[in-house]
């Protein structure tokens, strides 16, 4: 076969399948360890390894502690390559270049906009206390139910284009996605993480709860998140303790944005007695403010609008701390992107319009 016919009807079916699998990503249903064990045995066998016993790890705290012990790189590469690469190559043979690029582009767009934002809460640096832990984990963990976004694409090809044979190497991964969670392969054992007992999502699909924990585990562990960003519990449970001083001393821009959202931007500006220094016509360049803190030190920050639209159609607003020497919002916001320091003001302004 030299190609498949991608009709408009079939292309319209992709978002529907995407929606169906999106919600499965966050299932909190009990795991079926029998089916999990069978699927893992198939994966290990195809890579030439003897089946390894499965050890269930419960709770976020225990998962985080184990992160620095993962090191089975050869095992991981063989397990990943034996089946996923085989399925990818088989599918590519059935698609001509135009169809492949169009389908994969469509898939990547949906994956980036929805799944990465939602699951990134678990699969990024926020999940760990250090980049060392995260670098170990991201190279060694398989997503389990978080593999669903990638696997959904192959399900789509199977259902809409009858690519059963081409996608068959992924059958055990389909099983793990449906019945397991995050898992880490090692020669001696497979570490399987227990699913959370509850996960709260915003309308836009991000891990979020503004009145309690966003994620809980059976062992009582709780994590708090606001629009996909992990925050300390007190920000959600005791928002009245948020003060202008705490906001402006927070080093993490995302956490600072959450604090400003809950405190109220207009209230913050009033309480700080901030003055407007410069307003740019482009909201992505923003407005420059200055004020004097309680220690008599001049503080400056620029309020900018994110250029990327959120799934619900809104735009995030950020407050970025800058040096007080700046007198224009353009120069102030440019200073927060040192990699673009070689651009002129005109070039930077043009870049924000693209």
Q: Does 263 lie in the same domain as 157?
A: no
Residue 219, domain member (yes or no) = no
- Half-sphere exposure of residue 145, counting CA atoms within 13 Å on the CB side? 24
Residues 60, 180, single domain; the answer is: yes
Residue 31 lies in a domain: yes
Verify that 16 and 153 share a domain, yes or no.
yes
DSSP code of residue 240: G
* In a shared domain, residues 48 and 107: yes
Quick one: how far is CA 1 from the chain centroid? 37
Query: Looking at the 3D structure of the chain, how many domains does it have?
Result: 2
- Tell me: do 181 and 61 sit in the same domain: yes
- Residue 266 shares a structural domain with residue 175: no
163 and 290, same domain (yes or no) = no
Residue 207 lies in a domain: no
* The last residue of a domain, from among 195, 212, 230: 195
Q: Tell me: do 170 and 59 sit in the same domain.
A: yes
Last residue of a domain, one of 195, 220, 253: 195
Q: Among 77, 82, 52, which Cα is nearest to 186's?
A: 52
CB 77 within 8 A of CB 117: no
DSSP class of residue 146 equals G
- Same domain as 249, residue 190: no
Q: For residue 3, is it within any domain? A: no
Phi, psi of 214 (to 5 degrees): -85, -30
Whether pTM exceeds 0.85: no
Q: Is residue 190 part of a domain?
A: yes
Quick check: 311 and 114 in contact, CB under 8 A?
yes
The answer to whether the Cα torsion of 170, 175, 177, 182 is positive or negative is negative
Cβ proximity of 115 and 22 under 8 Å: yes
Same domain, 291 and 147: no
- Asked if 181 and 257 sit in the same domain, the reply is no
Classify residue 105: in a domain, yes or no.
yes
Determine, yes or no, domain membership for 221.
no
* Structural domain boundaries enclosing 163: 8-195
Considering the domain architecture, whether residues 115 and 248 belong to the same structural domain is answered as no
Asked if residue 238 is part of any domain, the answer here is no
pLDDT in tens, the chain (354 residues): 455 666 778 777 777 777 777 667 778 889 999 999 999 999 888 888 888 898 888 765 555 444 444 445 566 666 666 677 788 788 877 777 666 666 666 665 655 556 655 555 655 444 444 434 434 444 445 555 556 666 777 888 888 888 899 889 889 888 888 888 877 777 788 888 888 899 998 877 788 999 999 989 888 888 899 988 889 999 999 999 999 889 888 888 788 889 988 998 778 888 888 899 999 999 889 999 998 876 677 888 898 888 877 777 778 887 888 899 999 999 999 998 888 878 888 888 888 754
Question: Cα–chain-centroid distance for residue 250?
Answer: 22
């Amino acid at each position: 076969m030299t190609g498949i016919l991608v009709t408009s009807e079939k292309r319209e079916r992709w978002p529907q399948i995407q929606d169906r699998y999106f919600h499965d990503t966050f299932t909190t249903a009990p795991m079926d360890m029998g089916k999990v064990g069978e699927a893992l045995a198939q994966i290990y066998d195809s890579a030439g390894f003897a089946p390894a016993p499965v050890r269930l790890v419960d709770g976020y705290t225990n998962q985080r502690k184990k992160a620095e012990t993962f090191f089975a790189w050869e095992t991981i590469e063989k397990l990943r390559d034996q089946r996923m690469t085989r399925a990818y190559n088989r599918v590519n043979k059935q698609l001509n270049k135009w169809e492949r690029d169009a389908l994969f582009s469509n898939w990547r767009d949906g994956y980036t906009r929805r799944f990465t934002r939602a699951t990134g809460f678990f699969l990024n640096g926020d999940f760990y206390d250090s980049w060392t832990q995260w670098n170990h984990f991201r190279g060694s963990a398989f997503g389990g139910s978080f593999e669903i976004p990638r696997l959904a694409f192959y399900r789509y090809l199977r259902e809409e284009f009858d690519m059963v044979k081409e996608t068959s190497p992924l059958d055990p991964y389909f099983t793990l996605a449906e019945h397991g969670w995050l898992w880490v392969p090692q020669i001696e054992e497979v570490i399987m993480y227990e699913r959370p007992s509850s996960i709260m999502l915003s309308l836009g699909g991000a891990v979020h709860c503004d009145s309690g924990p966003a994620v809980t585990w059976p062992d009582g562990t709780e994590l708090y998140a606001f629009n996909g960003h992990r925050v300390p519990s007190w920000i959600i449970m005791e928002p009245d303790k948020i003060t202008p001083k705490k906001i402006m001393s927070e080093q993490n821009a995302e956490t600072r944005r959450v604090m400003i959202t809950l405190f109220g931007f207009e209230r913050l500006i009033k309480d700080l007695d901030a003055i407007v220094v410069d307003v740019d016509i482009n909201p992505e360049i923003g407005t420059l403010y200055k004020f004097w803190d309680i220690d008599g030190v001049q503080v400056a920050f620029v309020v900018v609008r994110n250029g990327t639209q959120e799934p619900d159609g809104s735009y995030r607003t950020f407050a970025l701390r800058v040096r007080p020497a700046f007198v224009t919002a353009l120069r102030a916001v440019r200073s927060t992107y040192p990699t673009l320091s070689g651009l002129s003001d005109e070039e930077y302004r043009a870049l924000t319009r693209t």
